[in-house]
Amino acid sequence: MLALTSEPASASVFTSASEVRGSYASQVDLELIDRLRADVIAANYRTSDIAALLGDAADASRQRGVATPARRVLDERGASPLGTLVRVFLLGDAVPTAELGVALPSLTTQGAESLGLVKTIDETVRAALSLNPVTLDSSAGQAEWWIISDLDDQLRRGPAKPDHVMGVGGATRSLIAQAPLAASGASLHRVLDLGTGCGIVALQLAHDTPATVVATDISARALMLARANARLNELADRIDFRLGSLFEPVAGEQFDLILSNPPFVITPRDGSAEQYEYRDGGMTGDDLVARVIAEAPEYLVPGGTLLCLANWECPWGVDGLERVREWVLDAPGRERRLAGWVIERDRVDPAQYAETWARDGGARPGTAEFEALMAGWLDDFASRRVLAIGLGSIRILRLEDAASDDVWHAERAGGTMSADAGDGLQQALVCAAQAERLSDTEMAATHWMLGVGITEERLHQPGEEAPRAISLVTERGIARRITADPLLAAAIGACDGDLSLGQIAGALATLLEVDESAATEALVTGFRELVWMGVLAPA
């Protein structure tokens, strides 16, 4: 959550970060949060224990929004504190007040109601907020959290409210997976979670790095829940929460790493669609993301990185990736030298995009509300002649050499992400930025090393001496299968740091009886591309 308007509606209410922190912290009884933590620990309210209780099949069904198999298992197993918490917070069931009191003996049912976690109806209680155990993988390893957020679509039994605070979704998991938190984590001094929402990215940053963590949001309600989550997971003293729009709360500051999952959803501005703080940036089209990308470099230290998830429009006659390049490299008044890398993971048509977000707000096909939302979205896209919407990530590295040329790379890559994708992608960006600034002669003089986990596959017809096809396969970062000719495959196989590219090209030219200068030129071109894919790095 970053901005619903260009100026935060509550800007005049708060005059300093300390006043902001006091204002929302006072809305949460931190002693009750501590009691809640003790109870969920005692109940073993963790993802692994829940899976063990329900069984893999019922737990998988629950995660798809089908609760009946899980309810049958819990009926068979009888009452337990863990089973009660699963019923209330994961299945959305009403349970007797006394039963929840047994599951939360320290907090008590009254304490849970005071925190806003549940609401009482006659002699039963039902969840008013989500309380989810979450396991996340990052390049630094695995961590488990308890996250308080608003009820998701499966449990809230109605449309979301405009100030809805999301829990941990697929976009957040993707952002954390792509963040460089292992190999580079120890060198991070100051990091920023721009648009923190429920606070999960800030928690992961505090867990995986020793850095000072700043987390911002325009929503005071989101910050209230994020602060509660930090306390619940014993990281409140590691995170500085601040209220405000975009980079206003960190004016004049710089960071080693900025992560942002901004409200990137492209929503009509004519009032035909509900505006949700967690997803709608309050600007026309993709202007909010464009502004984040254009302003971010001023808040990076030399060598610092921005990683931002984004959607971008592809109007008629214009490549959306080219529009992103303009955001990065053509921002007015920009003085920093940058290396930019945009990865388009998917591209969807306007109708598919509109359907996704109409459903996200709670509307269902066949209803008048749904049809009105679809019409509003499609009219909005048509007004800008938008033919498709790109979905992906934008990574910007502020180059340390202020005199160097900018570097830019754009690609479409839909392969799966590895568990350590963050460090693999960051290493590829740093190495590629270095390689792009080398002349062809310097490239040929460089010694190269094969990346981690690269394998080669050769397709042979039985009895054939030469392979019909050679493929390089990598699973680190983004899974890729790269077609290589015999010259490139042989050169890559020789990249152990001992010989320069020029020496390898000369030896292969003799062996294959081809022109050495032509071989060198071809290999320099191929090596430049393979560095972006994480296949090669300077020794």
The answer, yes or no, to whether residue 13 has pLDDT greater than 70, is: no
Query: What angle do helix axes 421-436 and 516-532 make, rounded to 10 degrees?
Result: 140
Q: Report helix, strand or coil for 178.
A: helix
Mean pLDDT of 109-123: 93
Q: Quick one: pLDDT at residue 346?
A: 95
Tokens of 294: 């254009």
Q: Quick one: pLDDT at residue 16?
A: 32
The answer, yes or no, to whether residue 410 has pLDDT greater than 60, is: yes
Q: Quick one: pLDDT at residue 462?
A: 81
Q: Which residue has the higher pLDDT, 61 or 18?
A: 61
Task: Give alpha helix (H) positions in 384-459.
Answer: 421-436, 440-445
Q: Quick one: pLDDT at residue 184?
A: 67
The answer, yes or no, to whether residue 57 has pLDDT greater than 60, is: yes
Name the band, by pLDDT with cuts 50, 70 and 90, for residue 185: low
Q: Quick one: pLDDT at residue 182?
A: 81
Q: Quick one: pLDDT at residue 2?
A: 35
The answer, yes or no, to whether residue 450 has pLDDT greater than 90, is: yes
Residue with tokens 């191929």: 526
Question: ∠ CA 132-136-140 to the nearest 5 degrees?
Answer: 150
According to DSSP, the residues that pair with 313 across neighbouring strands are: 389
What pLDDT, in 10s, does the model give residues 24-56?
344 788 899 999 999 999 999 999 999 999 999
Q: Quick one: pLDDT at residue 156?
A: 74
Residues 6+ apart with CB under 8 A from 390: 311, 312, 313, 314, 320, 321, 324, 344, 346, 347
How many other CB atoms are there within 10 angstroms of residue 480's CB atom? 18
Name the band, by pLDDT with cuts 50, 70 and 90, for residue 21: very low
The answer, yes or no, to whether residue 212 has pLDDT greater than 90, is: yes
Mean pLDDT of 269-286: 75
Q: Quick one: pLDDT at residue 531?
A: 95
What pLDDT, in 10s, does the model give residues 490-518?
999 999 999 999 999 999 999 988 999 99
Q: Quick one: pLDDT at residue 1?
A: 38
Mean pLDDT of 461-471: 80
Q: Quick one: pLDDT at residue 66?
A: 92
CA distance 45 to 170: 22
Mean pLDDT of 71-98: 95
Q: Cβ distance 183 to 424 under 8 Å?
A: no
Mean pLDDT of 451-463: 85
For 316-430, list the strands marked E by DSSP: 338-348, 386-398, 407-412
Mean pLDDT of 174-197: 89
User: Among 1-5, 34-38, 82-86, 361-365, which stretch is predicted with the lowest mean pLDDT?
Assistant: 1-5
Percentage of the chain beyond pLDDT 70 is 94
Q: Quick one: pLDDT at residue 358?
A: 86
Residue with tokens 């986990």: 453
Tokens of 311: 């959607």
Q: Cβ distance 421 to 477 under 8 Å?
A: yes
- Classify residue 86 by its DSSP letter: I
Q: Using only the alpha carbons of the chain, give its radius of gyration.
A: 26
CA distance 247 to 225: 21
Mean pLDDT of 328-347: 88
Average per-residue pLDDT for the chain? 88
Q: What is the pTM of this model?
A: 0.90
